[in-house]
Amino acid sequence: MGNYRFILSGGGTGGHIYPAIAIADELRRRYPDAEFLFVGAEGRMEMEKVPQAGYDIEGLWITGLQRKLTLKNLMFPFKVVSSLLKAGKIADRFRPDVVIGTGGFASGPMLRVASGKGIPCVLQEQNSFAGITNKLLKNRVAKICVAYDGMERFFPADKIVKTGNPVRSDLVELNQDVPEALAFFGLDPGKTTLLVLGGSLGARRINQLIAQKLEYFKSLGLQLIWQCGKLYIDEYEKYTSDSVKVLDFMNRMDYAYAAADFIISRSGAGAVSELSIVGKPVVFIPSPNVAEDHQTKNAQSLVDEGAALMVRESELEARFEPVFSRLVEDGAYRKSLSANIKKMALPNATKHIVDEIEKLLPSKQ
């Protein structure tokens, strides 16, 4: 088996980092002697998360463009030139066989330089609305792995492969041991359980909603697993009780999903992919504060298939209770949502992405 070398580049958010780590893990499983290098943005979360996963990473001096005129924007051209030069040195030194980009501004310079040197490149686009960096790179790469239909709007049709988004392996092999999961959280096996997810940092508007609706949830006979995020735990942990478990971070997502009867969640690409595999009824509350409003577009793609519900932040006061009450009261409706969201699951995404990467590898017999 050849001693292959892979560069993976992407970052800024967990939605770009965790897919890259999942792809690297699958490549390492197939090629134990391979060498890996991640390239991210200096000062962003990948510089911490990637080493924790057991991989080396180098940072580029790069940031995204701000939406308004700022000093950072004036520095942007210098950062681009600096990052292109450093990416070129990394490519010459590491000599990768393939470079994989998972989106985010950090991947732009690395894939731009690598493709210019004739190194095969693969893009992985997580969202239903393609990111700016991936759109700029579309003509320079060999393959583009996507999670949604209709991506020909953004990319050359002959390069697109629908693979889905990488998800953690413990969810693909989810052991639905509900009593064990409820016991883990100290919850009542006789009650219906709502799981609330706002991401690792938390979602302020979702947290405000849940705090405001605790009596409403109680009137419906629900108990809660409420992941409020590390930014908000000091503010919301006071609501912890026998029937409300407030957590900053979820160490056992498999138990959380197994315990849940309903889920309220943001609609980042990773969350949507995971929840499709889990197959529970879900109400998405998209973040309006993300590039090109892609969370709303991700959620809408499931709503259009009768696979999920969506309430925008601006509609929470008027629509949340009517939407959620119907979900609790109508068993046939819940079954329909669960069946439809499961149809959208692509649990073998990571393997399929790596299959496409393998096709680009040179023979090293």
Please give the helix or strand (H or E) that residue 121 lies within, else none.
strand 121-125
**Contact indicator for 209, 153 with CB cutoff of 8 Å:** no
Backbone angles phi, psi at 58, to 5 degrees: -120, 145
Helix (H, G, I), strand (E, B) or coil at 35: strand
Backbone angles phi, psi at 59, to 5 degrees: -105, 145
**Contact indicator for 267, 100 with CB cutoff of 8 Å:** no
**Contact indicator for 187, 245 with CB cutoff of 8 Å:** yes
| CA 52 vs CA 3, 49, 86, 158, 200: distances in Å | 23, 5, 24, 36, 16
Terminus-to-terminus CA distance in the chain, angstroms?
7
**Contact indicator for 223, 192 with CB cutoff of 8 Å:** yes
**Contact indicator for 211, 238 with CB cutoff of 8 Å:** no
**Kind of pairing between the strands at 98-101 and 5-9:** parallel
Rounded to 5°, angle at Cα 358 from 129 and 344: 40
**Contact indicator for 84, 110 with CB cutoff of 8 Å:** no
**Contact indicator for 158, 142 with CB cutoff of 8 Å:** no
Q: Is 127 annotated as a binding residue?
A: yes
CB-based burial, 251-285: b 16+ in 10 Å, e otherwise: eebbbbbbbbbbbbbbbbbbbbbbbbbbbbbbbbb
Q: Is 175 annotated as a binding residue?
A: no
Q: Is 296 annotated as a binding residue?
A: no
Compute the chain's Rg from CA coordinates.
21
Count CA atoms closer than 13 A to 176's CA, side-chain side. 6
Q: Is 13 annotated as a binding residue?
A: yes
Closest CA to 187 of 235, 132, 248, 242: 242
d(CA 321, CA 311): 10
Binding-site residue set: 13-15, 127, 168, 200, 295
Binding-site residue set for UDP-N-acetyl-alpha-D-glucosamine: 13-15, 127, 168, 200, 295
